Structure 1
Amino acid sequence: MEELRIPGPTPLPNEILQAMSKQMINHRGEEFGRILNGVTDKLKQLFQTKNDVFLLTSSGTGGLEAVIVNTLSPDDKVLSVSNGVFGERFATIAGQFGAEVIPLRFEWGKAADVDAVRQALQAEPKIKAVLVTHNETSTGVTNDLASISSVVKEFDKLLLVDAISSRLMSMPTSLARLDVSCLKDMRYSGISSGISLF
């Protein structure tokens, strides 16, 4: 088997390939309902949350769009913590939706400075949410999500996290402490692409 050493897609285990070769089931039938409820319950356990978990048939970008349109309104102020391509993409999505994006950019290859996040929130009290990419794939930098989360909570703001390329088990805080996050199936779990978790 050829090895892929990239964030995603990842090689698929044989059991996944075999499961994908089965016939389709009725997406409105009882069997599908049982499967969906079982998967959702297990995801809540995995994410350490009692909050709703949604599975979207979309790309990671589609998942980020869902995060934005389901938490923000046009003209809401958002602080965009960015240190790479995907942080900029998250900000662009918010801006296209109509949010007023306040950029807080850091040098690519460097992690976000938590004190700078605190200062930005102090300077603009009308910020509703903070956008941050946990693991910035374009530079290989992982932002200190636990510290950023603590600062955002001090100011009682929403924390919206792009966790698309984060290995879930390496995240330093449970998803229960985050307001909304978007994860991508193939990036860490060895399954085929096409589902975003939100």
Structure 2
Amino acid sequence: MDFNLRTPGPTPVPEDILQASAAQMINHRGPEFKSLIESVTSKIKEVFQTSNDLYILTSSGTGALESAVVNTISPNDSVLSISVGVFGDRFSQIAHMYGADVTDLKIEAGKAVDPEQIRKELNSNPKISTVIVTHNETSTGITNDLQSIAQVVKGEFDKLLLVDSVSGMGSIPCPVDSWDLDVVASGSQKGWMAPPGLAFISVSKDAWEAQSKATTPRFYFDWEKAEQYLQRGQNPWTPAISVMYAMDKSLTMILKEGLGAVYERHQTIATKTREAVKSIGLELFADEKYASNTVTAVKAPDGINCGELISNLRTKYNIVLAGGQAYLEGTMFRIGHLGFVPEKEIDEVIDALKKELGR
């Protein structure tokens, strides 16, 4: 059965990319894979807009976040965590788990962080060596002003900046080098239009310097191993070859369209979605000034059970939306619109909501 899959990940995979992913397996230590990984790595770096080192990890996006922590942070290092939602909390939890001394700057759900708040924290605690932040928070439908954040963290205080752009990169602007971002993580199942299974991480010179001093044990996510094997055209561990095929195809499509056009397309569909939601009397959860172009979070209408609404949309209309996560459960539902999004599928969502809610 075909569903109108409107979650913020995994996202629908276009037919051409699905076909590419169905290619026969190859030797991941052979010349064919060497050509594949070199092609995919080079094209991902174009989307990241970086000359920094970049590694493809066989993991979810969370694996890339863990790799960022274990390679750059030692136990008892002072870390500032900026969270605007569930995924920001997760990044903080990883740092806590590995023994970092974490200062948590938690922002009200639906709001973005004000760079002045970061400046205040860094001024009051000069021991902080690293700042971790989510670029695009799909749990609340917020995009942080990452460029302004980087200007404070890097430009004013010269701290290491680790960025979760798992759901942002490839859908909204995130030029790694021009914004001076040390580590940026992303995942294949988001705006890249590929199946889950691969994560990507870029590593700056400052991040490598931190890596050389970090004492946290690491094995699977060791960047030195990743670099050594990439020099031979390989991954350290068995890669998700089918997803590599998919990424090679999706990247060709993205770069042919052009990054500017991709970002404009996401902005157009996001604006359409937000305006349509408001037109039927529903209220946005996120501060519209910082509303994400990848997902629209909608406040639960009075007297409506979001779980039942989402279930009804699935069973009656074949539409799959996401609910609120963790402490946000029951407060909202979310409409994903990143990657491959025909406008008619947004129209179908709005029409179904009107029927279910009697609007």
Fold conserved (TM > 0.5)?
yes
Q: Which residue of 1 aligns with 2:186?
A: 183
Q: Deviations over 1:126-175 (max 9, x none)?
A: 1111111011111101111010000001100011111111143412x411
How far residue 17 of structure 1 moved from its aligned partner, in angstroms, is 1.6
Runs of 4+ in structure 1 displaced over 3 angstroms? none
Larger Rg: 2
User: Normalization by structure 1: what TM-score?
Assistant: 0.96
**3-state SS in 1 of match to 2:52:** coil
Are 1:194 and 2:197 an aligned pair? yes
Contact kept in structure 1, 2:153 and 2:161, CA below 8 Å:
yes
Q: Which residue of 1 aligns with 2:41?
A: 40
Question: 2:143, 2:39 → 1: CA distance?
Answer: 31
Q: Deviations over 1:81-107 (max 9, x none)?
A: 111111111000001011110111111
Question: 1:168, 1:121 → 2: CA distance?
Answer: 30
Q: Which residue of 1 aligns with 2:133?
A: 132
Root-mean-square deviation (CA), in Å?
1.1
How far residue 117 of structure 1 moved from its aligned partner, in angstroms, is 0.3
Q: Which residue of 1 aligns with 2:64?
A: 63
Percent of aligned positions with the same letter in both sequences? 53
How far residue 2 of structure 1 moved from its aligned partner, in angstroms, is 2.5
Q: Which residue of 2 aligns with 1:160?
A: 162
Structure 1 residue runs without a partner (length 5+):
none
Contact kept in structure 1, 2:169 and 2:186, CA below 8 Å:
no
User: Normalization by structure 2: what TM-score?
Assistant: 0.54
Question: 2:129, 2:191 → 1: CA distance?
Answer: 30
Structure 2 residue runs without a partner (length 5+):
202-359
Considering fraction of residues, name the structure with more helix.
Answer: 2
Q: Deviations over 1:30-53 (max 9, x none)?
A: 110011111111222221111111
**Counterpart residue type for residue 93 of structure 1:** I
Question: 1:48, 1:165 → 2: CA distance?
Answer: 16
Question: 1:48, 1:55 → 2: CA distance?
Answer: 16
Question: 2:17, 2:3 → 1: CA distance?
Answer: 16
How far residue 6 of structure 1 moved from its aligned partner, in angstroms, is 1.3
**Counterpart residue type for residue 188 of structure 1:** G
Are 1:147 and 2:158 an aligned pair? no
Aligned residues: 197
**Counterpart residue type for residue 61 of structure 2:** G
Q: Which residue of 2 aligns with 1:170?
A: 172
**3-state SS in 2 of match to 1:40:** helix
Question: 2:170, 2:144 → 1: CA distance?
Answer: 14
Q: Which residue of 1 aligns with 2:300?
A: none
